[in-house]
Amino acid sequence: MGHATIEWVYVGVVIAILVYVGADAWNIERLLEHAPEDAETIKVTGAQWVWTFEYEDGTREIGKLHLVKGQPYRFEITSVDVIHSFNIPDFAIMMDAVPGRINTIWLVPDQSGEYLIQCREYCGLSHYQMRGTLIVEEPSGEEGEANITSAAVEAPSKGATAVAS
Ligand SMILES: [Cu+2]
């Protein structure tokens, strides 16, 4: 092979890698931006210095967020005063809470348990206290059975599922 041929092969390989990386990144961006259609919407409001969560049925909780494992959720995040940032480190969720606009992010919690919710944008004197608790519960009843993954269905009992997770 001459120099020119080797160079063209090199150029071709580089272009192929760039196209592959670009296409994959585009696909991931698309997935990140679009919540599943059956996602439940939860309104998240930051205020100095508490998080308020409003579920689809209109009920509200302050500082505590109850989700069900395996169910998709779409968070609509805003603030009533200064800029905060809604952060659940264990699920790699972080989105700014900005007064006057709604930012969205979605999540399907895949593990039950209790997790930290915190503000990740310095927002004043008690910023460090702007924490909450995410409680992810195991699905229950008929609705839960449908949501349970095939792996969980194969487990002999609920107890065994809890141990596995
Ligand atoms: Cu804050």
162 located within any domain = no
123 located within any domain = yes
Distance 157 CA to ligand 1 centre (A): 41
Residue 76's pLDDT is what? 96
User: In terms of C-beta density within 10 A (0-12 exposed, 13-18 middle, 19 or more buried), how is residue 135 classed?
Assistant: middle
Q: Containing H/E element for 31? A: helix 3-33
- Residue 111 and residue 74 share a domain: yes
Distance 123 CA to ligand 1 centre (A): 5
Which of 5-9, 70-74, 117-121, 144-148 has the lowest average pLDDT?
144-148
Residue 143's pLDDT is what? 53
Instruction: Give the total number of structural domains in the chain.
Output: 2
pLDDT tens digits for 97-139? 999 999 999 999 999 999 999 999 999 999 999 999 999 999 9
Rounded to whole angstroms, the Cα distance separating 85 from 80 reads 12
- Residue 122 and residue 83 share a domain: yes
158 located within any domain = no
List residues, by chain if needed, whose CB lies under 5 Å from ion ligand 1.
Answer: 84, 119, 123, 130
Distance 126 CA to ligand 1 centre (A): 8
Task: Tell me the three state secondary structure of residue 3.
Answer: helix
Cα–chain center distance at 132: 16
Give, in order, the Cα–Cα distances in Å from 110 to each of 70, 84, 116, 142, 162: 6, 26, 15, 19, 12
Rounded to whole angstroms, the Cα distance separating 47 from 152 reads 38
- Between strands 40-47 and 73-79, the pairing is parallel
Q: What is the mean pLDDT of residues 49-71?
A: 96
Give, in degrees to the nearest 5, the angle at Cα 39 between 44 and 127.
20
73 located within any domain = yes
Q: Which domain holds residue 4?
A: 1-34
